[in-house]
Structure 1
Amino acid sequence: MSTCTTILVLLSLFFCIRHTRLASANPRPPQTCSIAIFLGSGGHTTEALKLVSALDFGRYSPRTYIVSKGDTFSAQKALALEHIKAADHAFSDDQPQYKLLFIPRARRVHQSLLSTPPDAVKSLLACMRIVAVRPLFKKGAFRQPFVDLLILNGPGTCVILCITIFLNRLIGLPSPRVMYVESFARVKSLSLSGKLLYHFTDRFVVQWPGLVQPGGREIYRGCLV
C-alpha cells in the first residue's frame, strides 16, 4: 500500500471516529408531536383522557384540549390530568405545555332539529377560526397546521371540527392528521358520529372486533380505554 493511500485511510478513520464521538456527545433532541384532543363531555371525555394519559407528554407536546362551552367537567378533568403528569415528571420548561380552547356546541342534548342549524353554524365558524385563521397569523408558523394530530372520540360537535379540517384541505391550507377512536360503548355498530366521519379521517380506530368489516378501513388494536 502506498504512503498516500495509507494517509487517506488514516484520515478517513480519524474523521469517522471524531464524527461518532460528536454525535454521542450531542444527541439530537427527540422529535415532538403537537396534538389536540376533543373532549365531548361525560363518558367521551373520560375515554379521551384515558387515551391521552397513556402518551409520553415529553414527546406529545404541546397539547390542546378542545372543549364545548359550558362543559366545566371536561375542562376540570383535563387540568387535573395535566397536574398529575406535571407532578410525576419534572418538565424542564416552566411554561405550561397545554391549553384549553372552548367552542360552541353544535347541538345540545334533546335540542330540536329546527333550532340546531344556527348553533351548528356558530360552532363551524369557531372551528374555522381555530383551524384555518389563527395558524395564518401565528408568528414563525406559516404553512403549519394548528397541531400535528387531532384525536376525536365523539360526539356531534367533533363532526363540525372534522368538516373544518376537510374544508382546509380542499382549499390547500395546512391541516392536521385526524384520528377517530370509536367509543368503547359501541360494540356491534358505529355511532352516528363514527358513520359520518368514517371516510373523512386518516385513521379510524375501533375497540371491538365485531366492528371490523371485511375490506373496511377500521383499525382494531384491542380495547384502548
Structure 2
Amino acid sequence: MHLLTWLSFGIVLAIIARIYVIVITSRSSTSRGRGRAETCHLAVFLGSGELYRYIGGHSSEALSLVSALDFSRYGPRTYLISDGDSLSEQKACHGASTGGYQILTIPRARRVHQGILTVPFTALRSLLGAMYHVTLAPRLFGDSTFDVLLLNGPGTCVVLCVAVYLNRFLGLPSPRLVYVESFARVRTLSLSGKLLRPIVDRFIVQWPDLLRNGGRGECHGWLV
C-alpha cells in the first residue's frame, strides 16, 4: 500500500508538471505570421445563455468581434453553440452569409438555476461533446483542426478550453485560445475570465480597470 501511495503521488505530480510546462510554453510561444494567401480556420463560441435568449448577449458580442474580419482569409469558420440556443444559430447564419462556415452544437455545461449536485454530470457531458469536435472528429473523419478558438465568457467555454488542453497534453494539434472578456464586465472579471486568465494564449479585456491589479492581460479599448 505504501508503494501504491507513492506511485499515485508520482503520477499526479507528473500530470501537474506536464500541465505547467504546457501553460508556460503556450504563453511564451508566438504564432508565425500568415501570408496574404494563407487562410485561418477560425472557431468562435457563441453562448447567449438562457437569460439572454432574446437579446443575444455574448453571441452578439462575439459576432461583432469577427464582423470586421476578411472572411476570404478567415475561413472556413466554425461557430460552436450550446444545444437549444436557436437564437445564436440564427445570428450566426445571418452574419455569416458569405464564405464557408459550419455550425456545431455541444451540450450546455450548466443551465440557469441548475442544482449544484447535478452540475458535474452536465459538465462531463459537455466536455465529451467538446472533445468530440476538438479531438475525435479531426482524427476520425479528417475534419480540419481549428487554428484559433475565440471565446468571450459563457460558462461552456471553460469546458472547451479543457478539451483543447487535453489535446495539448497528448501532443495533438490544438487551436490557439483567445479570450475576450465581455464588454459588460467593467470592474470585475467574470467567473470564466478568472478561471481562464492563467491558461489561455491571449487574454483581452475592454476596460482598463480590469487590469489594475497587475494581472496578466491586455487592453485595446472597446472591441464591440
Aligning the two structures, in what range does the TM-score lie when normalised by the shorter sequence? 0.7 to 0.9
Identity %: 57
Which structure's CA Rg is the greater one?
1
Amino acid at match of 1:34: H
Q: Which of residues 30, 39, 47 in structure 2 aligns to 1:40?
A: 47
Deviation at 1:214, TM superposition (A): 5.6
1:110 pairs with 2:117: no
- Matched AA of 2:132: R
Q: Following the alignment from structure 1 to structure 2, what is the Cα–Cα distance between the partners of residues 171 and 60?
A: 27
Partners in 1 of 2:199 and 2:105 — Cα distance? 23
Offset at residue 154 of structure 1 (A):
1.6
Alignment correspondent of 1:175: 174
Counterpart for residue 7 of structure 1: none
Is 1:53 equivalent to 2:56 in the alignment? no
Q: Structure 2 counterpart of 1:67, which letter?
A: I
Distance 2:113 2:37 in 1: 46
Contact 1:208 1:220 in 2 (8 A): yes
Give every structure 1 segment of 4 or more consecutive aligned residues whose post-TM-superposition deviation is greater than 4 Å: none
- The corresponding residue for 1:199 is 198
Distance 1:111 1:223 in 2: 33
1:70 and 2:84 are equivalent in the alignment: yes
CA deviation after TM superposition for structure 1 residue 29, in Å? 6.3
Q: Distance in 2 between matches of 1:81 and 1:135?
A: 26
8 Å contact from structure 1 (residues 135, 146) kept in 2: yes
What is the count of residue pairs matched by the alignment? 183
Matching of residue 155 in structure 1 with residue 162 in structure 2: no
Q: Which whole-Å CA distance do the structure 2 matches of 1:208 and 1:180 have between them?
A: 14
Contact 1:166 1:200 (8 Å CA) reproduced = no
- 1:91-106 to structure 2, matched below 5 A, reads 97-106=100-109
Aligned equivalents of 1:182, 1:103: Cα separation in 2: 21
Q: Residue 152 of structure 1: CA displacement?
A: 0.2
- Contact preservation (8 Å) 1:182, 1:207: yes
Q: d(CA) in 1 for partners of 2:36 and 2:42?
A: 18
TM-score (norm 1): 0.78
Give TM-score scaled by structure 2 length: 0.78
Q: Once the 2 structures are TM-superposed, how far is the Cα of residue 82 of structure 1 from its aligned partner? A: 1.3
Tell me the CA shift for residue 137 of structure 1.
2.5
Counterpart of 2:114 in 1: which secondary structure?
coil
Q: Which residues in structure 2 correspond to 1:18-33 (within 5 Å)?
A: 30-33=37-40
- Counterpart residue number, 2:95: 81
Deviation per residue, 1:149-201 (Å, 9 max, x gap): 00001211000000111111111111000000000010111000000101110
